[in-house]
Structure 1
Amino acid sequence: MKNRTNEQLCALAQKGDTEARSLLVEQNAGFLRKTAGELYRSMNLAQSNLCVDCEDLVQEGSIGLLSAAAGFDAARGIKFLTYAAPAIRNAMTDLIRAEFAQFEQKVVHGENELGIQIIRLEDVRSEEEQAQRIEAISHPLAHSPEEIYIKQEELSELYQALGKLSAREQTYLLYRFGFADDTAHPLLGTALHFHLGESRAKRTEEQALDNLWLELPWWY
């Protein structure tokens, strides 16, 4: 049984074989942990005040994997893990969304009692983030003089445009797209970081990008 492929285990699991279901999870534990780790880091969950750790994500991912196994059809010629990956990630993300919704309710009804320190867009000094990022990018590293010049010209135009936005919009975009730390953060992760609802974060992003686009020189 242990030497069977994912696809073979799926076929057995669909017939009600509980051992095959367990082996399917065990056999793909590495992928589950890798996906959980990527989400945990990209969404900065360690600093989010949510009661979610990697093991919670792995458990939810296992449920997503088994749900995918129930609908898997090997005749389509797709590898099981390729088919199951979106369901695994969605299951993990759904857990984070559910925890975030509960966290929002707690903060609304008793922020002071919880002693939670919330990062708000209005409280972040985007000027410092921007200055630090420009200084870091300006270092030549291994680029040729021509590459450095072109990159600095493009970045100069971008930061000039960013400088014309509100501090709130600057801060959001600097974090969301990795200008501040070279790491682009997903929408939900950015919402968690700034304690915004997901829909509000999306509206903030759309408005900020629209305003940025209008300030870029190649728009005219």
Structure 2
Amino acid sequence: MKNRSNEQLCALAQKGNTNARDLLLENNFGFIRKTANEIYFGMNLGESELSIDKDDLEQEGCIGLLDAIPRFDSSKGTKFLTYAAPSIRNAMTNLIRDAFSRYEQRMVDTKDGLAFQKIRLDEVVPGEERMLHIEAIADPIAKSPEQIYVEQEILRELYAGLDRIGRREQAYLLYRYGFTDDIEHTTIGAAIHFNLSESRAKKTEEQAMDNLWLELPWWF
């Protein structure tokens, strides 16, 4: 049975074969673990107060895979793992959302409704590091000199615009869109990082983007 494909194992599992179900979990656990790592580190859960570790995410991912088994239809030509992947990821993110909802109820907002307590607001990209980040996009093999120049100029203008908006908004956008770590974080990930409610994070982002657009030269 170990040599059977995911699709064959799923067909057996749909008929009640528990060994086939267990093999599906075993064969696809590497993908579940990889997804858990991406979410765990992408959302900085290790630095959050949600008390969620990678094992929790992996367990939810396994549940997500099992939930996909009865719904899978091999006649549509889709690979089982391709079909199950959204269910695996959704199970993990639902765990985070549930934990975050409980955490939101315990949060105490500051006077203006913001609570950027996880990082200092002056921890933005310094000039030297900023230049390295701008120059890092240069790839003489993949891009022409003209493309490199245009991308560098756009990045310089973005940083210049960020310098002209509020410090909190600047810190939020730098983190949310990966200016500092090259990872575009989700809204809920940014909310966790800055100790904000999800609704407050969305409002902060909307206001920050509005203010940034007004500072960009191509907006006029």
Q: Does TM, normalized by the shorter one, top 0.5?
A: yes
Instruction: State the superposition RMSD in angstroms.
Output: 2.5
- Taking the aligned partners of 2:216 and 2:35, their CA distance within structure 1 comes to 36
Verify: 1:167 aligned to 2:167, yes or no: yes
State the one-letter code of the partner of 1:6.
N
CA, structure 1 residues 200+140, in 2 after alignment: closer, same or farther (shift >3 Å)?
A: closer
The residue that corresponds to 2:38 in the other structure is 38
TM superposition shift of 1:219: 1.3
Alignment TM-score, normalising by the size of structure 1: 0.85
The residue that corresponds to 1:129 in the other structure is 125
- Taking the aligned partners of 2:39 and 2:134, their CA distance within structure 1 comes to 30
CA, structure 1 residues 132+178, in 2 after alignment: closer, same or farther (shift >3 Å)?
A: farther
- State the identity %: 57
Which one has the bigger helix percentage? Answer: 1
TM superposition shift of 1:121: 7.9
TM superposition shift of 1:139: 4.8
State the one-letter code of the partner of 2:121.
V
Q: Is the contact made by 1:176 and 1:184 (CA closer than 8 Å) also made in structure 2? A: yes
Moved more, 177-186 or 2-11: 177-186
How many residues are treated as equivalent by the alignment?
Answer: 211
Residue deviations 1:166-193 (CA, integer Å, cap 9, x gap) = 1111110001111122222222211110
Q: Is the contact made by 2:118 and 2:193 (CA closer than 8 Å) also made in structure 1? A: no
Gaps spanning 5+ residues in structure 1: where?
Answer: 109-117
Gaps spanning 5+ residues in structure 2: where?
Answer: 109-114
State the one-letter code of the partner of 2:117.
R
- Taking the aligned partners of 1:187 and 1:204, their CA distance within structure 2 comes to 10
Equivalence map 1:55-134=2 (5 Å): 55-108=55-108, 119-120=116-117, 123-125=120-122, 128-131=124-127, 133-134=129-130
- Taking the aligned partners of 2:207 and 2:136, their CA distance within structure 1 comes to 33
TM superposition shift of 1:155: 2.2
The residue that corresponds to 1:114 in the other structure is none
Question: Matched residue of 1:129: which SS?
Answer: coil
- Taking the aligned partners of 2:93 and 2:87, their CA distance within structure 1 comes to 10
- Taking the aligned partners of 1:186 and 1:197, their CA distance within structure 2 comes to 13
Q: Is the contact made by 2:138 and 2:148 (CA closer than 8 Å) also made in structure 1? A: no
The residue that corresponds to 2:196 in the other structure is 196
State the one-letter code of the partner of 1:30.
G
Residue deviations 1:101-121 (CA, integer Å, cap 9, x gap) = 22333444xxxxxxxxx7438
- Taking the aligned partners of 1:120 and 1:77, their CA distance within structure 2 comes to 49
CA, structure 1 residues 201+176, in 2 after alignment: closer, same or farther (shift >3 Å)?
A: same
Q: Is the contact made by 1:35 and 1:89 (CA closer than 8 Å) also made in structure 2? A: yes
Verify: 1:54 aligned to 2:54, yes or no: yes
Moved more, 25-34 or 203-212: 203-212
State the one-letter code of the partner of 2:169.
E
- Taking the aligned partners of 1:29 and 1:103, their CA distance within structure 2 comes to 29
TM superposition shift of 1:195: 1.0
State the one-letter code of the partner of 1:202.
K
Moved more, 54-63 or 44-53: 44-53
Q: Is the contact made by 1:121 and 1:168 (CA closer than 8 Å) also made in structure 2? A: no
Moved more, 64-73 or 200-209: 200-209
